[in-house]
Amino acid sequence: MANRQTAVGAFVIGGLALGLAALIFFGNISLFSRTTRAVVIFQGSTSGLSLGAPVTFRGVRVGAVDGIGITFDARTHAAYIPVTVELRPDRVSLAGQGRHAVRLTLQDLIRLGLRASLNLQSFVTGQSEIDLDFDPTAPAVLHPDIATMTEIPMRQSAIQKIQKTLTELPLTELATDARGAMQNIRELAERLDHDLPPLVASVRQTSDHSRAAVDAATQAIVDLQLRLDTTLKAIDTLAGAGTQQLEARGADMHAVLNNVNQTVLQARQSLAGLQDLTSPRSAERANLDSTLRDLSAAAAALRGFAGDVERNPQLLLLGRRP
């Protein structure tokens, strides 16, 4: 009987030991490591955040949520949710220093830009976690009247920014504009249903006319090509006949050119003779001058005789008396 009670007691003690070990292991409970407590104050919803939720730094777990409360400010009528977190500084080490070097305090990290944000841990379960990261651009908004310990300023996560953007969207105006756009689209569709069939018929008729015009143009081009072939053949024949005529008249043109050349030579000789005749020192020029003087004297005698006859017409009958 005693052995049985001893076995049961040992079994219970072993189960408690295993349960405690599992709680320490899976609950991230550190019995012998130094921890640091801090608070993150949220003003919005912390849906999905519960006790024991992980506190991570870029996905690496550095602590857990230790407490969640609600604080109401009667002066501003604002509600805040302070979330107490328990951090394990031994998870963070400084590069380039020894094992026993002086570490940065949490206040130093906050001054360097350490910020906290609420992120969704799982889309399936809807659980959330607190993620820490450095973001010097985010303002350090602190709540000294609410925080009872070191406060880590918070920043909006990507999901919270999306939620804020969606909240600030003018959904009513967008719905009204969408409804108006749908009404305009419906009216346009009805108008197209009314105007499109005649337009399609007109386009079809125009297409038929265009096809007929193209066919006629094609036929005209074919006819013109045939006529051009005939014309080109006639021009070729005419060119051949012209070439034959030129070849046949080549000898005649050569003879004519020879005659013209001889005529030019004779004309040149005649001009040379005429030049000799009209030269002041030539005998022909002297005889010509003498003949001209005789003709002039004869003309003067005739003029004198004509004057005497005019004064005395009887000279023609009686003549001149000695």
pLDDT band at 196, cuts 50/70/90?
confident
Q: How far apart are CA 69 and CA 84, in angstroms?
A: 8
Q: How far apart are CA 207 and CA 201, in angstroms?
A: 10
Q: Poorest-confidence range of 41-55, 64-78, 194-208?
A: 194-208
Quote the mean pLDDT of the chain.
78
Q: Judge whether residue 20 has pLDDT over 90.
A: no
pTM, two decimal places: 0.44
pLDDT band at 246, cuts 50/70/90?
low
Helix (H, G, I), strand (E, B) or coil at 71: strand
How is residue 299 written in tokens?
């003309």
35 burial (CB, 10 Å; 0-12 / 13-18 / 19+) is: middle
CA max distance for the chain: 227
pLDDT band at 31, cuts 50/70/90?
very low
CA distances from 160 to 44, 58, 100, 163, 218 (A): 9, 17, 40, 5, 71
Question: Which residues are registered as beta bridge partners of 71?
Answer: 80
91 secondary structure, DSSP code: G
The pLDDT tens digits of the residues spanning 86-96 come to: 988 777 766 66
Q: How far apart are CA 270 and CA 262, in angstroms?
A: 12
Domain boundaries along the sequence of the chain: 1-32, 33-93+104-167, 265-312
The pLDDT tens digits of the residues spanning 109-163 come to: 888 889 998 888 877 888 889 999 998 888 888 888 888 888 999 887 666 667 6
The answer to whether the CB of 132 falls within 8 A of the CB of 57 is yes
The answer to whether the CB of 39 falls within 8 A of the CB of 147 is yes
**pLDDT number for residue 261:** 77
DSSP-derived pairing of the beta strands 128-134 and 54-57: parallel
Q: How far apart are CA 150 and CA 46, in angstroms?
A: 20
DSSP letter string, 54-107: EEEETTEEEEEEEEE--EEETTTTEEEEEEEEEE-GGG---TTS-TTSPPPPHH
How distant is the alpha carbon of residue 259 from its chain centre?
A: 80
**pLDDT number for residue 83:** 93
